A and B are shown apart, each in its own frame.
Chain A
């Protein structure tokens, strides 16, 4: 089956979510990938959204982080304060699944401003739940489309920390979670290099060249000694993803719930 690079990205991200994992899900691409995982390889993944639903099993993707579908399909709905206090800070989240406007080579995320904070070139939405998800989830997955402007050498603003300045900086900061373990893009998968904690390419999606990745990364991206090729999406994965998107578009009048 032919497929798009966006489909490859979503499928590759979904595969990273183990069955039974408790996952704190950001809206947009993370929510799409997490639900694809739930509908394919990981039926018992537990999806938690910051608005309050725990164990949400939406049949269509939410457009907003607090859609009624999430509440109706959840095991329970708790107040937002409780989500952050008991479930995240309390240490019960296995995987924090985040999107980003920009990311750097240490997996730090900017969703706040481009340019100076006090006279920004572009004012982005801000932190939302990400800083504490990035800090307290046992591990973090990041999903975003790759490009020069989104994969930058130096962030203008660190909203949510990955490995900070690299090396053991994250440990020095005393953050409970392990930090980002993977950045999944439409071109490749990056993982932190042992020791430096700099993100390097560990798998290329089928048909993607190293040159493409280099062109679309704002830092001097390095490649692992053994770069794998991501297995192509299977028919089962693609069918599930396309059906999910079709249901979502029908329910939301054309919007696919992937771009928040």
Chain B
């Protein structure tokens, strides 16, 4: 059974230094508030897994929380580069970052394999690509029945997965709607799972075949309204495209980045205080 906790308590209890952590959400429902809380609590030596690192991992990497990144597309969607990721890879700032690079099909299959309790995923991929030359974990096997050569990659099995969703009921059953990405697989692949939600309701009113994560498959559910900003929560708020653009100059420079993190994340007690501070700054503009 999931416990209904504050995000602070959930991160304290379920995210440990050195863990392999997946904060998933494919453009939609990115668990930004949880990323902030991990920075606030100064978690270290994390192996971060995410198909699209996005701003959330740019922040974690620049804040020094990560020792390794497992990913498949690392850009600021619609804007350009993730400057903190690039600075870590190109100039080892704030420290060296090991990267393990895959394709989307590979990581999506690796989450499915993880959720399926399998040690590896098999897929038709990578023939002719240079990625297997730089990632020794991408291997090739032959189908035992047809002899066809196929790619084999280790499954993703995080110590903890964090996702954001629209709502939970009072028992902690969670309903996810809209673009699902690999959130369900990431949760089921993990030893522990934290879900932040927009709200807790009496009845999920989930349609048949909806994506519902049962409370007994989760560790904690935390109410964090707006917790996916600047990504969006379908039915609640839209993607804040301006913030994605505004992030570019902030992250481009080490000093402006650090000042931003110190002011808005380390300098706030929680996500609601962060939101208030950000809103005040935007109003002042």
Contact = CB atoms under 8 A, between A and B. Distances in A.
Nearest to B245: A255
Given A127-B101, A131-B105, A161-B127, A64 B178 contact: no
Given A63-B244, A112-B130, A132-B105, 17 more contacts: A52-B26, A67-B27, A80-B108, A81-B108, A85-B109, A120-B90, A125-B75, A126-B71, A126-B73, A127-B129, A131-B129, A135-B125, A161-B129, A173-B127, A255-B241, A259-B78, A260-B75
Contact of B109 (A63, A77, A81, A164): A81
B181 A131 contact: no
B128 A159 contact: no
- 4 closest A-B pairs by CB: A66-B27, A161-B128, A125-B75, A63-B78
Contacts of B137: none
Interface in B61-101: 71-75, 77-78, 81, 85-86, 89-90, 101
Interface string A175-207: 110000000000000000000000000000000
Interface in A79-128: 79-81, 83-85, 88-89, 108, 112, 117-120, 123, 125-128
B205 to A, nearest CB: 19
B103 A64 contact: no
B181 A51 contact: yes
B131 interface: yes
Contacts of B102: 127
Q: Which of A68, A123, A127, A159 has the most CB of B within 10 A?
A: A127
Contact of B129 (A78, A84, A158): A158
Contacts of B81: 123, 125
Interface in A43-95: 50-53, 63-68, 70-71, 77-81, 83-85, 88-89
A27 interface: yes
Given A51-B27, A158-B128, A77 B104 contact: no
A53 B26 CA distance: 12
Interface of B: 26-28, 51-52, 71-75, 77-78, 81, 85-86, 89-90, 101-106, 108-109, 111-112, 123-131, 134, 148-149, 178-182, 184-185, 232, 234, 238-239, 241-242, 244-245
A88 B105 contact: yes
B242 A129 contact: no
A52 B180 contact: yes
Contacts of A135: 124-125, 127-128
A130 interface: yes
Contact of B123 (A89, A120, A257): A89
Nearest to A133: B105
Given A127-B102, A127-B103, A51 B73 contact: no
A161 B81 CA distance: 23
B2 to A, nearest CB: 21
Contacts of A127: 72-73, 101-104, 129, 131
A100 B85 CA distance: 20
Given A51-B28, A130-B103, A71 B108 contact: no
Interface string A191-231: 00000000000000000000000000000000000000000
If over half of A's interface residues share one DSSP class (helix, strand or loop), that class is named, otherwise mixed; here it is loop
A138 interface: no
Chain A contact patch, size range: 35 or more
A112 to B, nearest CB: 7
A29 to B, nearest CB: 12
A84 B181 CA distance: 11
Contacts of B52: 128
Contacts of A120: 89-90
B111 A81 contact: yes
A68 B234 contact: yes
Contacts of B242: 253
A252 interface: yes
A128 B50 CA distance: 12
B143 to A, nearest CB: 12
Contacts of A132: 103-106, 123-125
B11 to A, nearest CB: 25
Given A252-B241, A257-B78, A79 B131 contact: no
Contacts of A123: 74, 81, 85-86, 89-90
B193 to A, nearest CB: 16
A25 B260 CA distance: 35
Given A112-B130, A135-B127, A255-B245, A81 B27 contact: no
Contacts of B74: 123, 125-126
Contacts of A67: 27, 239
A150 interface: no
B127 A66 contact: no
Given A77-B180, A81-B112, A131-B103, A64 B130 contact: no
A51 B125 CA distance: 18
